[in-house]
Structure formats: C-alpha cells, structure tokens
C-alpha cells in the first residue's frame, strides 16, 4: 500500500470514529420481557462510560445487567435497566429523556444535577462541607444557613467512618437568587467552619453532586482502615484485584448487596482513580450484585504493585459502602418553607437521632426529603422514639420506610410544640445563631 492510500485509509477511519461521537443511542423495549435495553455506541475517551452511567443514574434507572466492550477507539455498551419499582421503562417521557440526554445535542461530557433535583447550577450557590461527623451536626449546619438567610433548595449528605461530606444548594431567602456577595459568603464559610470545628473546608463550586461527594470522602481519607468496624455495618463487600498478564488487563471483581446507583459508584471510583474500563459485566438480578471489570491505567500501566492493588480494593469497598443505607429510613413530604430543615433536624437531635445519610429535594414548592437515622451511639433507633418524633413533626408528613408516602396540600401542616433546649442549641445560642426562648 502506497503512502497516499495509507493516509486515505487513516482519514476514513478517523471519519468513522468521529461519526460515532456523539453516541448513537437505542432504547429497546421488545427484546426482553423484564428489562428495557439501552444500547450506546460512541467514540471512546477517558470518562465516556462514566458519563453514560451518570445519565442513567441521574434518571433514577436501576441497572440489572450491563455488558461493556471498548477496545480501540470506540465503545459499545448494553444496559438492562428498570425503574425504581423494578418495572420496564414504559413512560415515553422517560424514554425520550434517555435519548435526549445522550444524543448529539446534549452529550457534552457535562455535569448533571438531577440527582438532587436541580436543573442548573447557575441558579444556586453550591456549598461543600467536609469534616468529622458527630451527632446533631446536620442540625447545626442547617441552623447556620437558615440564620444567614439562606434558603436550602437541595442537599445531599453522606457519612462514613466518622467523616461527613455534604453538598448544599442554597439561594437568598428574599430574592431567590444565588448569593454572590463575597463578604456574606465569607461569613457563611466562617460560621460553618466553626460549627465543624475547623476540620472542614467550605467552597462554592459547580460539579456533579454524587461524583463530588465520592471525591470529598476519598480526599478526607474515609478509606482509613481504622474504621473497619463501622464499615462492616453497611453490608458485606468482596473486592479482588489481579494482574491479568496474558490479556494485558488488570481484572477487578466485586460482589456485594445490590442497591440503586451501585454501578455508577464503582465506575465513578475507577474513573477518578485514572483507570480506563475496556470490558465489564454486571449482573444484579437478585439480592447480590456481581461486577467484573477489565481495566488499564490511563498512563498505559498494565501491571500494578501490591500497594496499588490494596488501594483499589479499599477505594472500591468504601465507594460501595458510602451510599449503603445505615439506620431507619424516614421520608418527609410536605409544603416547603424557610427553616423547615433546621426545625426537622433539630427535632431529630433532641430525640437522640443521628443522621447518617440525607437527600433533600424541592419540586413545585414541595419538599421531598429522605433521612437515614440511628441513635447517638450508632445503634438502631427504638420504635417508640420514632413514633415520638412522628407525633411532633406530624404523622401525615413523616413516614417510615415501606409505608405509603403521599404528598398533597392537605398534608402540609407542621406542628413543633414547645421543645427542650439541648446542649447543641446552647452552642448555637452562644454563636448568636438562635434566639433565647
């Protein structure tokens, strides 16, 4: 083959690769009786798979099976997905959103915000919190923000191995706009850092919330094996990593209890550790999930040391456990209002409840909030304590997991009553954040 024809062939190959990026997306509802198939073909870049999985995760789709193949310059992926009720995706609006989120007009390696019910980061001020966890901390954080005239639009909080990572989206109470004033932001940062006793960093950024929470936790060393006893409370996880010399890959296998967004958490972690996923198989059709990955480091390294192997194992174990529920799930559904979260979490604190995980969303002036709670010692909460809390907040708006949750305007009553001032309230009073009653 002469030089001209070789160049021509390379040009045609490049056209083929470019023609597959942005991806071609197919949603197939006929091939399987139990799942909807989402097929994606695209040019392969570092992070391409994560972006696809991120879209599926943000649309609250559960991956039951996945087959990933990406050798050369493109990948071909097949995802078997169901909705949160375990059913095929029959809603045409959701199907359209899958295709629109991955089509040529919007697949721009961007950061989505749907995971916390937010449409555009330009509409909010984003606050990152990193610190050491303790009972009542979330209540104090929300009290600071409310006192500083911040409306909490959405928030997500994880705890793991005595660390806390949280991202809070806020607006100004009076204007409903993002907070831009540097002096005011500095005051908020100062107060939050004081509440977190100097063990945190507070910043104002825009990023994908759940991916950023993983990064924050990892940077805050929640993979420290000193918290192994705490980790085991969140379920058994098996991760193995081996050099596969004959195929030129590093093989990563994980077995754990299945849960929503599990696949996203593992792909996110491997991607942020700078590993390219070339092949993968995921099977999650029972209580347990099995995941197998064939990866290489982006610098081309195909053989890892024992130290690196242990780092991958520990990082994946913790990524899986961070989002695994710990405690009783409480769901709050009512009309949103300023100070709602500060009051609800104060009631939790005064009844000895510690929040291990939280997700706060606001849609159409209604609050849809989920909290996982344990007692102050990290043990299961007594049923009578939960009932006391529900009686104070309102039994029609605060529900325990597996109870029917309905949200209508007739449920939007909120009774607080006269509450005892706790030590945490005294701490906030000394900061000047709450008034004496």
Superfamily of 121-220+326-430 according to CATH: ACT domain (3.30.70.260)
Average pLDDT over residues 295-301: 85
- Percent of the chain at pLDDT > 90 equals 39
- For all residues of the chain together, what is the average pLDDT? 78
pLDDT tens digits, residue range 176-222?
A: 888 888 889 888 888 988 888 754 555 555 567 888 888 888 777 65
CA dist 223 → 102, 157, 230, 257, 311 (Å): 33, 17, 11, 19, 9
**Whole-structure pTM value:** 0.73
pLDDT at position 412: 33
Choose the CATH number for 3-113+242-302 among 1.20.58, 1.10.1060, 3.40.1020, 3.40.720: 3.40.1020
pLDDT tens digits, residue range 34-58?
A: 999 999 887 777 788 888 898 899 8
Average pLDDT over residues 383-412: 73
pLDDT at position 407: 42
Q: What is the dihedral of CA 223, 378, 141, 159, to 10 degrees?
A: 20
pLDDT band at 101 (very low <50, low <70, confident <90, very high): confident
- Radius of gyration from C-alpha coordinates of the chain: 23
| pLDDT at residue 123 is higher than 60 | yes
pLDDT at position 415: 32
pLDDT tens digits, residue range 209-263?
A: 888 888 888 777 655 554 444 444 456 899 999 988 777 899 999 999 998 899 9
Average pLDDT over residues 136-161: 91
The residue ranges of every structural domain in the chain are 3-113+242-302, 121-220+326-430
Instruction: Look at 280 and 93; give whichever has higher pLDDT.
Output: 280
| pLDDT at residue 404 is higher than 90 | no
β-strands 150-160, 62-69 pairing: unpaired
Q: Is the separation of the CB atoms in 41 and 67 below 8 Å?
A: no
At residue 206, the 3 state secondary structure works out as coil
| pLDDT at residue 10 is higher than 70 | no
| pLDDT at residue 389 is higher than 90 | yes
pLDDT at position 194: 86
pLDDT at position 97: 84
At residue 98, the 3 state secondary structure works out as helix
pLDDT at position 279: 93
pLDDT at position 103: 66
Average pLDDT over residues 272-281: 92
| pLDDT at residue 292 is higher than 90 | yes
pLDDT tens digits, residue range 340-357?
A: 999 999 999 999 999 999
Q: Is the separation of the CB atoms in 63 and 258 below 8 Å?
A: no
């Amino acid at each position: 083959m002469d030089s001209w024809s070789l160049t021509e062939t390379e040009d045609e190959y490049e056209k083929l690769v470019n023609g597959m990026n942005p991806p071609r997306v197919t949603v197939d509802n006929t091939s399987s009786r139990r799942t909807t198939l989402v097929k994606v073909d695209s040019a392969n870049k570092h992070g391409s798979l994560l972006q696809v999985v991120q879209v599926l995760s943000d649309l609250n789709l559960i991956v039951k099976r996945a087959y990933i193949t990406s050798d050369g310059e493109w990948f071909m992926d097949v995802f078997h997905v169901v909705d949160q009720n375990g059913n095929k995706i029959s809603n045409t609006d959701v199907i359209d959103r899958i295709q629109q989120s991955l089509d040529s007009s919007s697949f721009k390696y961007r950061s989505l915000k749907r995971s916390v019910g937010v449409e555009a980061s330009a509409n909010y001020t984003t606050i990152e919190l990193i610190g050491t966890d303790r009972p009542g901390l979330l209540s104090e954080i929300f009290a600071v923000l409310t006192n500083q005239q911040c409306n909490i639009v959405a928030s997500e909080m994880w705890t793991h191995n005595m660390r806390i990572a949280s991202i809070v989206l806020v607006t100004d109470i009076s204007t409903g706009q993002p907070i831009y004033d540097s002096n005011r932001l500095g005051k908020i940062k100062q107060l939050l850092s004081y509440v977190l006793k100097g063990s945190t960093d507070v910043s104002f950024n825009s990023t994908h919330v759940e991916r950023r929470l993983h990064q924050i936790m990892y940077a805050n060393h929640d993979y420290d094996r000193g918290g192994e006893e705490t980790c085991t409370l969140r379920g058994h996880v098996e991760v193995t990593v081996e050099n596969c010399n004959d195929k030129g890959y590093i093989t990563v296998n994980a077995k754990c209890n299945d849960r929503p967004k599990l696949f996203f958490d593992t792909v996110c972690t491997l991607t942020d550790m700078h590993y390219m996923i070339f092949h993968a198989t995921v099977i999650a059709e029972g209580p347990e999930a099995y995941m197998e990955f064939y990866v290489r480091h982006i610098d081309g390294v195909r053989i890892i040391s024992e130290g690196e192997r242990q780092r991958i194992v520990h990082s994946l174990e913790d990524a899986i456990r961070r989002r695994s529920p710990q405690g009783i799930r409480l769901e709050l559904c009512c009309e949103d209002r300023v100070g709602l979260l500060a009051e609800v979490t104060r009631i939790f604190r005064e009844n000895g409840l510690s929040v291990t995980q939280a997700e706060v969303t606001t849609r159409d002036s209604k609050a849809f909030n989920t909290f996982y709670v344990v007692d102050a010692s990290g043990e299961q909460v007594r049923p009578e304590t939960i009932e006391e809390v529900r009686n104070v907040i309102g039994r029609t708006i605060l529900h325990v997991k597996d109870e029917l949750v309905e949200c209508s305007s007739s449920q939007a009553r909120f009774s607080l009553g006269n509450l005892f001032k706790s030590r945490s309230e005294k701490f906030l009073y000394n900061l000047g954040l709450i008034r004496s009653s």
